[in-house]
Amino acid sequence: MNGFERREIRAMASGRLEGRVALVAGASSGIGEATALALAGEGARVAIAARRLSRLEGVAARIRAAGGEALAIRADVADEAQASGMVEAVLRDYGRLDMLLCVAGVGVAAPFRNTTTEEYRRMVDVNILGVLYAIHAALPAMTRQREGHIVVVSSGTGRYIHPSTVYSGTKHAVGAIAESLRREVGKDGIRVTSIEPGAVRTEFTAQMRAEVRESVERRLGDMEQLESEDVANAILYAVTQPRRVNVNILTLYPTGQA
């Protein structure tokens, strides 16, 4: 058990999210995993979704061992039926949905001419359509409840231009979708937050081609990156504000990142 988990388990007693239900899409590793642990640490019942069920079951076991409640759901968010199926599973098992956290994402951090059309498709399918499908499935329940919080994990590349043209484009889209949606659904008591991290030390580069991964690693050098828990803390800040407060955008960068 690491320090973060110990802290979270202590926090569970205070339970700022007691009685709340969260769905974290993309919770099998990195930022999503840390976010699921942080939300559970505050007393939320947490559904966790991704493609790697065995990893999800490991996260769920840690939450349960710490006294929390978790539901692992295998889902590919780029598949509309699976994305809506994960929301339906949460509503069936937990009866409501207070927070939808769209964390799942893929990225090939390469210039346009060094990105294949298959990679464009994967980024658009997961980073844009995956977010839209999940929101589409979750909104009716949140509207009925007259309460809900949608958190999307965009990126610093969704605000500032970095040399990763298509990935950056998908994250700009996510930020625009979040802000437009916020204006549309706020009157229904639904909050929308976009989180924009700089470089975070996760498995994110593992899904990139070796050549791209090496160039990203060279670019980052020995700069100290954010930890997943830093981003989870930013998310926790947004979701624990009073209902009258919508945290629109949170941008956080490693201190050493230009």
Ligand X SMILES: NC(=O)c1ccc[n+]([C@@H]2O[C@H](COP(=O)([O-])OP(=O)(O)OC[C@H]3O[C@@H](n4cnc5c(N)ncnc54)[C@H](OP(=O)(O)O)[C@@H]3O)[C@@H](O)[C@H]2O)c1
Residues making contact with ligand X (CB under 6 A): 26-32, 50-52, 55, 75-78, 103-107, 126, 130, 153, 155, 197, 199-200, 202-204, 228
Among 195, 115, 196, 208, CA closest to 157: 196
d(CA 59, CA 66) in angstroms, rounded, equals 11
Closest approach, Cβ 129 to ligand X, in A, equals: 10
Smallest distance, Å, CB 18 to ligand X? 26
Q: Return the number of the residue (68 or 156) whose C-beta is nearest ligand X.
A: 156
CA–CA separation, 174 vs 132, rounded Å? 9
**Pairing relationship of beta strands 249-252 and 70-74 according to DSSP bridges:** unpaired
Contact 44, 32 (CB under 8 A): no
Name the residue nearer to ligand X (CB basis): 32 or 43: 32
**Considering the complex, what minimum distance in angstroms separates the CB of residue 106 from ligand X?**
5
Of the pair 130, 175, the CB lying nearest ligand X is at 130
> Toward ligand X, which CB reaches closer, 146 or 218?
218
Report DSSP letters for 73-105, one per residue: EE--TTSHHHHHHHHHHHHHHHS---EEEE---
- Rounded Cα distance, 175 and 195, in Å: 9
Residue with smaller CB distance to ligand X, 11 or 252: 252
Which residues fall within 8 angstroms of residue 171, CB to CB, at 6 or more apart?
127, 154, 155, 157, 158, 196
How far apart are CB 218 and ligand X at their closest, in Å? Answer: 15
- Residue 163: left (phi > 0), alpha (psi -120 to 50), or beta? beta
Closest Cα to residue 113, out of 219, 212, 210, 221? 212
Output the 3-class SS for 41-66: HCCCEEEEEECCHHHHHHHHHHHHHC
Residue closer to ligand X (CB basis): 99 or 104: 104
Q: Could you tell me the smallest distance in angstroms from the CB atom of residue 30 to ligand X? A: 2
The single residue of 120, 160, 167, 237 carrying the catalytic annotation is 167
253 counts as catalytic: no
Smallest gap from Cβ 85 to ligand X, in A, equals: 12
Count Cβ atoms below 10 Å from residue 252 Cβ, excluding itself.
15
Residues designated catalytic = 167
